[in-house]
Structure 1
Amino acid sequence: MRSLLLPASALLLLTACGTQQAGSSSGASASSCPSDPSWAEEGGVRITGLRGAACDRVEFEVTNDGSEAFTYTVSFTFASESGAAMSSGEETVESVEPGRPVRRTVMMTGAERVSIAQVRSVPVDETPSAGGACPASGVRVYADQGDAAMGLRVVGLHLENCGTEPYRLNGYPEVEILDEEHEPIDSVRILKGGDAIAMGTGADAPPRPLTLAPGERAQSGLVWRNTTEFGEPVNAPYARIWAKPGAAPVTVIPELDLGTTGKLGVGAWQKEEQDQQPERPAS
């Protein structure tokens, strides 16, 4: 939903990789992969080295400086020697405990530079779930990839009853907007109904009581515009969602670029038809 312009200083030049000694029968590399202590670091994630015969295995380390376990989503950009973006990659690192760094590897193919494009983190207890084991709450809640057109943004919220008991909903999910430091942003008005922002978004139906049998799903939506006029634009990566009062919160990552509009529309829960397949999240 948005593009990133990457500074050349944040990139690792890899063109020295993979050269071989003339006449070498072993095929071993004559020079090791480049090493630089000033390699890019952002949001608790640091590139620590390059490995492999072609220096195409990028090693990185995730450090959690908080007080609870987080799941991290790390986005990388792979670029040409000139810095032109060629491709991207994303890795999810689950359950990083405070003070216990975790190392992972991401593969890079056909590029000479790599940068950390973006780091997002969600408390383990609030991680969205689109599949796998059913959470203790008995429901899965997650956001889809969303849609953007002419400055209008719509991100779907999806809830699935994966438990064994009926799950009742009545009205709107509760939403709290969070900044990059996971701190609440109180300057944005949360409005009921997508039609508070624009008509025809699919998030403007009136609220009504719902009972979801095991296996049934419901959907809501976040609707906003990124119009920028006078004032300070608001960019908020995270939204904490409570499906209903008393429910366990889930933190999704809709990347809210609210401009200076100061408002976000939230649709009422509506039951999804059984043959309607909800859009799955990108990660």
Structure 2
Amino acid sequence: MRNRLLVVLVGVLLVAGCGAQPAPAGHPTDTACETQPGGEKAESGVRIIGVNLVAKHCAEFEVTNSGSRAAVYTVTFAFLASSGEALVTPQRTVPVVGPGRTVKDIVRVGELRSELARVKIVKVRSVPAAEAPSAECPSSGLRLYADDDAEAAMGLRVLGIHLENCGPRARQLKGYPKLELLDEKHKAIRTVKILHGGNAITSSPTGADGPARPVVLKPGERASAHLVWRNTVEAGGANISSPYVRVWAEPGAAPIMLTPELDLGTTGKLGVGPWKKDQP
């Protein structure tokens, strides 16, 4: 009888364990921040709901997706001194917030060189979950991503777009990546000319020069293309910014939405170079 009871108890525990669900990645699993209510207004669906300015230097916030598609959010915060100086500007990515859903999260920083006065939201970027760049190999076998920041010199900007063949077979590229520029509301920008080659923007070498040639990528190999632009601003022109760029690596490929923060000024032009195989 005793042995039968032990078997029943073990079975109950196993069933209970199988039904337990882990907390979603990026979501707080505790209240260790111990925040006081925050008073910052919502910014693009993100609102700070509590801060700890003294001991733990953290802020609790919530993200509400009012759109119709699941999205990945990247939020930039500023932890400010009483003078208004930004002591640190951390980013926090909240993965896959479903349409109509609200998700809470916590951003934490370490020791600060000055007394913390408040926390504010600096910038919010969101991309459809189906178009978000991935650190893992997607089902297409092609992983597309961009440099974190553009190289800048004398108003000239150069940003690399990278493509890794992480699949099991060789892939061939030819030509240029297809681009669509988007504004802060994810609306297409039609007033910018997308030109082939960096020489459409500058005579200086940028990596976006030369003709398009066929590129064969074996598994594990990478290719790059470069975006080139100037942020010149002239009186009377429309100052255009494109936080988002939708990129198709090749015809028929699924698009990936990048956040390169293109500050195009009033030039109305963006140069894109051909795919070139990265050298080992």
Cα distance in 1 for partners of 2:127, 2:247 equals: 12
Q: Does 1:253 align with 2:259?
A: yes
Q: Which residue of 2 aligns with 1:219?
A: 224
- Which amino acid letter does the alignment assign opposite residue 136 of structure 1? S
Cα distance in 2 for partners of 1:157, 1:65 equals: 30
Q: 1:206 aligns with which of 205, 211, 224?
A: 211
Indicate if the aligned counterparts of 1:40 and 1:115 stay in contact, CA closer than 8 A.
Answer: no
Q: Which residue of 2 aligns with 1:18?
A: none
Indicate if the aligned counterparts of 2:35 and 2:60 stay in contact, CA closer than 8 A.
Answer: no
1:111-260 → structure 2 map (5 Å cutoff):
111-129=116-134, 131=135, 133-144=136-147, 145-198=149-202, 199-229=204-234, 230-260=236-266
Q: Does 1:270 align with 2:270?
A: no
Q: Which residue of 2 aligns with 1:107?
A: 108
Indicate if the aligned counterparts of 1:166 and 1:211 stay in contact, CA closer than 8 A.
Answer: yes
Q: Which residue of 2 aligns with 1:12?
A: none
- The TM-score normalised by the length of structure 2 is 0.82
Structure 1 residue 57 displacement after superposition: 2.3
Structure 1 residue 114 displacement after superposition: 1.0
Q: Cα 1:52–1:233, aligned 2, differ >3 Å: closer, same or farther? A: closer
- Deviation digits for residues 178-211 of structure 1 (CA, Å, limit 9, x no counterpart): 0001110000000001111113111112100111
Indicate if the aligned counterparts of 1:169 and 1:209 stay in contact, CA closer than 8 A.
Answer: yes
1:34-53 → structure 2 map (5 Å cutoff):
34-36=36-38, 38-51=39-52
- Which amino acid letter does the alignment assign opposite residue 263 of structure 1? K
Indicate if the aligned counterparts of 2:51 and 2:119 stay in contact, CA closer than 8 A.
Answer: no
Deviates more, 1:253-262 or 1:42-51: 42-51
Q: Which residue of 1 aligns with 2:61?
A: 60
Cα distance in 1 for partners of 2:129, 2:224 equals: 23
Q: Give percent identity, aligned residues only.
A: 54
Cα distance in 2 for partners of 1:244, 1:84 equals: 45
Secondary structure of the residue that 1:125 maps to in structure 2? helix
- Which amino acid letter does the alignment assign opposite residue 252 of structure 1? L
Let me know the Cα RMSD of the aligned residues: 1.5
Structure 1 residue 271 displacement after superposition: 0.1
Indicate if the aligned counterparts of 2:184 and 2:244 stay in contact, CA closer than 8 A.
Answer: yes
- Deviation digits for residues 28-83 of structure 1 (CA, Å, limit 9, x no counterpart): xxxx85434x4232111100112597252200001111111111110011111121
Cα distance in 2 for partners of 1:33, 1:244 equals: 48
Larger radius of gyration: 2
- Which amino acid letter does the alignment assign opposite residue 278 of structure 2? E
Between Structure 1 and Structure 2, how many residues are aligned?
240
Runs of 4+ displaced beyond 4 Å: none
Structure 1 residue 216 displacement after superposition: 0.5
- Which amino acid letter does the alignment assign opposite residue 63 of structure 2? V
Cα distance in 2 for partners of 1:193, 1:125 equals: 29
Cα distance in 2 for partners of 1:238, 1:99 equals: 22
Cα distance in 2 for partners of 1:211, 1:201 equals: 22
Deviates more, 1:106-115 or 1:152-161: 106-115
Indicate if the aligned counterparts of 1:191 and 1:265 stay in contact, CA closer than 8 A.
Answer: yes
Deviates more, 1:253-262 or 1:106-115: 106-115
Structure 1 residue 219 displacement after superposition: 0.1
Gaps of 5+ in 2: 1-33
- The TM-score normalised by the length of structure 1 is 0.81
